Structure 1
Amino acid sequence: MSNQILKMKRWQKQVQAGNECFNAHQLFAAVAHYQSAKQLAWHLFRYWEDPAEAVAVVIISYHNLADLYLRRLQPEMAGNELDRVHDSLLQEIATESDSPRYQALLSGLRRTYQALLEFNQQHRPDQVGALQDRYEAELLAG
């Protein structure tokens, strides 16, 4: 079994363990698992052969943490995770214009934008307009 497949299995185990802790309301333990999954996700992102899977793994890792922070009544932390994943994918797409990963990143950006928009509508309504303007500018730049 390749090193990357082993890392994917480790990522899956960390997410599963985080989900189990989350469901059992063991939120501090869940954070540790989700943080570990996030680190593994970035390593997989760099080397995983399927770009769509690689992007999805990264997004899932951040969104799990955002959900956890919302459960802990920490919307500012949740928003930070959603902002980070969106900004990280933006940085990646800037260097991938001629790459097979470009379409996967573009799809991922749509997903992270939608999550940010929904989050902002509920938790940061004063930032919805700025987010929409920023997204339009990002689309024009890309």
Structure 2
Amino acid sequence: MEHWKRTIERANRCFMQGELVDAREAYLQALALAQVLFERWADADEAVAACVVSHHNLADLHLRLNQPEESAEYLCAIHQRLLQTMQDERLAPALRAAAQRQSHKTYVELLNFISEHGEYPRTQRLLHCNAATPRQRNAPLHHGVH
């Protein structure tokens, strides 16, 4: 977890300084770490959060690069991963529960993205398969570096 945190912090510094190529490289490294360790981290909530933050930071970076379709891909990828994790009975119950808790955040991020940037093919496919609950539709929307 510490290596992932240091990598994300380095990426965030680059992002804030406008060094977007370096930020992207570090965010991709953090994402790779989070994905490789997803089922191996001792703390399921940390494992899921690391994956979510990695994807959302890459989505934010691509928005800054004026690449909204790439941003949509990262937002959809993590939301879909969490939905799959929740349903995979081979995975630890704690990981599945953490995925369910974080899926609310990924859903809100998708709604926020669509309200600001419109729909893309993958967002349409993903969200039309997953209807919002009233609570999710009324959740506060935000976007930024995580």
Distance 2:98 2:61 in 1: 26
The answer as to 2:120 corresponding to 1:120 is no
Unaligned segments of structure 1, at least 5 residues: 1-7, 138-142
The 5-angstrom pairing of residues 1-142 of structure 1 reads 8-96=1-89, 99-125=93-119, 132-136=127-131
Give CA-to-partner distance per residue, 1:72-107, whole Å, 9 cap, x none: 111111111101111111222221487122221111
When the two structures are superposed, what TM-score results if normalisation uses the length of structure 1?
0.82
Give CA-to-partner distance per residue, 1:10-55, whole Å, 9 cap, x none: 1111101101110110101100000000010112211112111111
* Range that drifts further, 13-22 or 92-101: 92-101
Unaligned segments of structure 2, at least 5 residues: 133-146
Identity of aligned residues (%): 35
Distance 1:98 1:27 in 2: 36
Change (3 A) 1:24 1:129: closer
Which runs of 4 or more aligned residues in structure 1 lie more than 6 Å from their structure 2 counterparts after TM superposition?
126-130
Give the SS at the match of 1:70.
helix
Structure number with the bigger relative contact order (C-alpha 8 A, sep ≥ 6) is 2
Larger helix proportion, structure 1 or 2?
Answer: 1
What's the RMSD between the two structures over aligned residues?
A: 2.2
**Count of aligned pairs:** 130
